[in-house]
Amino acid sequence: MHDTARARVPAQTRKVLRHSVRGQVLDALRAALVDGELVPGEIYSGPALGDRFGVSATPVREAMQQLALEGAVECLPNRGFRVLSRTPRELAELAEVRAMLEVPVMLRLARSVPAATWEALRPAAAATAEAAAAGDVPGYAEADRAFHRRVLALAGNDQLVQVAEELHRRAQWPLPGAPRVRRADLVADAAEHAALLEALAAGDLPVVESLIREHFAGAT
């Protein structure tokens, strides 16, 4: 009777549950990348990571394949996954591309979006400040992306938001051998969000542009 009951579970339900596990593992792996727990150059096996997260190797492999598509790891047949190394030049190039993409958009938004709308984004900026004060590097990375995502969403271009977030995520992966991000650096980075909102609400275009470029140049 119990076997029959299990057999009647809809395939779609099983798929949703499996997708949920994969999503949770993917989030955990992304956080481990940002926090430096997954070391650039090191090779990790699906079963070993599965044991770490208390799941089978299958959702780990699926999550790692997504990370491979994002350029974070490479798949090594019969060995596992190697975390790819970044270079200072790559990070500088990412900052340049992000600025090329976001600066014109934010300047346009500063000219057209009312001050009250920017005021409504203060909780998003505050969330970055809270994570920074706690020294929570993965939490800060997530809150940082959420803040930029909400700002860019005002442009009404979903493709822009998607591309910008992908670039932002890549920019958050640490350099090989880099020390863990200091809480003071996170706090300073978060403070730039509040300053940016002030400049956007005031329509101060030179300050908006300066803040964005400096923010990307020193991106955490």
Q: How many domains does the chain have?
A: 2
* End residue of a domain, out of 83, 103, 129: 83
* End residue of a domain, out of 60, 83, 106: 83
CATH number for the domain harbouring residue 56: 1.10.10.10
Q: Across residues 52-59, what is the average pLDDT?
A: 89
CATH number for the domain harbouring residue 183: 1.20.120.530
Same domain as 49, residue 102? no
The reported pTM is 0.83
3-state secondary structure the chain: CHHHHHHCCCHHHHHHHHHHHHHHHHHHHHHHHHCCCCCCCCEECHHHHHHHHCCCHHHHHHHHHHHHHCCCEEEECCCEEEECCCCHHHHHHHHHHHHHHHHHHHHHHHHHCCHHHHHCCHHHHHHHHHHHHCCCHHHHHHHHHHHHHHHHHCCCCHHHHHHHHHHHHHHCCCCCCCCCCCHHHHHHHHHHHHHHHHHHHHCCHHHHHHHHHHHHHCCC
Mean pLDDT (the chain, rounded): 88
Same domain as 189, residue 172? yes
Same domain as 142, residue 49? no
Same domain as 108, residue 42? no
Q: Across residues 69-94, what is the average pLDDT?
A: 91
Q: What is the pLDDT of residue 219?
A: 62
Taking only the tens place, the pLDDT of each residue in 20-38 is 888 899 999 999 999 888 9
Taking only the tens place, the pLDDT of each residue in 94-113 is 999 999 999 999 999 999 99
Same domain as 159, residue 98? yes
Same domain as 97, residue 182? yes
Q: What is the pLDDT of residue 215?
A: 87
Same domain as 212, residue 164? yes
Same domain as 114, residue 212? yes
Same domain as 76, residue 174? no
* End residue of a domain, out of 48, 83, 118: 83
Has residue 129 got a pLDDT over 50?
yes
Domain ranges, residue 58: 2-83
Q: What is the pLDDT of residue 13?
A: 31
Q: Across residues 105-123, what is the average pLDDT?
A: 96
Q: Across residues 72-95, what is the average pLDDT?
A: 92
Same domain as 124, residue 37? no
